[in-house]
Structure formats: structure tokens, C-alpha cells
Amino acid sequence: MNQVTADTSDVYFTQNELGLGTYAYSYNIDDPLTGNVQFKQEERHKNGAVTGSYGYVDANGVPVTVTYIADENGFRMKIEKPGTSIQYFPNERDFFGESNLQLI
């Protein structure tokens, strides 16, 4: 006998057109049936910079978050897990550029 169960997962998606050459989108998934937990958000700004983050729960149940920026200085990211921090840029100031990046 086959059994049908209700889908109890949460899935959210948003998308915005912010003007010529810009965009923003995000999604969030939390599926208790499969254990699939993940999110992503990203935005391209008028100055061409792309910023965002994504995250998931790994196979050991550990949450992982990656924050990134791509601009005229290249691609930089930071990976965060409880008890660790992996950075692919020298410091927080370098993550957002030498000056305060104007994200318009």
C-alpha cells in the first residue's frame, strides 16, 4: 500500500529588478523530510559589485555560511563554521575594499 504524506518543507524565493544591470534574489529551503537546509541571497549593485551569501547544514549537522563579494578587486569570500573561520582575503576591510564601498 502506498502512503501519501503532506509536504511540510518550506521553500521561499524572491527576485527583484533594481534597475538597469542590477538584480537581487534569494531563496531559503528547510525540508525536514530530507534534512535539506540551505539558503542563498545575492545582489548586483549599480557599480557592478556583486555581494551575497549562501549557507547549508553539512552531512554532520554543522551549519556553514559563505559570504562573498566580486568587484574590481576580484572575488573574495569568507567561510564560517562553528569553531573555524576560513578567509580568502586578508582582513575585513579588504573584504569590502580599501574605502567604504558605495553599494547603490
pLDDT, tens digit only, all 104 positions of the chain: 444 444 555 655 565 656 678 888 999 999 889 889 999 999 999 899 999 999 999 888 889 999 999 999 899 999 888 877 665 554 445 555 544 444 43
pTM above 0.85, yes or no: no
77 occurs within a structural domain: yes
Q: Give the domain range for residue 64.
A: 10-95
43 occurs within a structural domain: yes
CA within 13 Å, CB half, 103: 15
14 occurs within a structural domain: yes
5 occurs within a structural domain: no
89 occurs within a structural domain: yes
18 occurs within a structural domain: yes
CA within 13 Å, CB half, 87: 8
3 occurs within a structural domain: no
| Number of domains composing the chain | 1
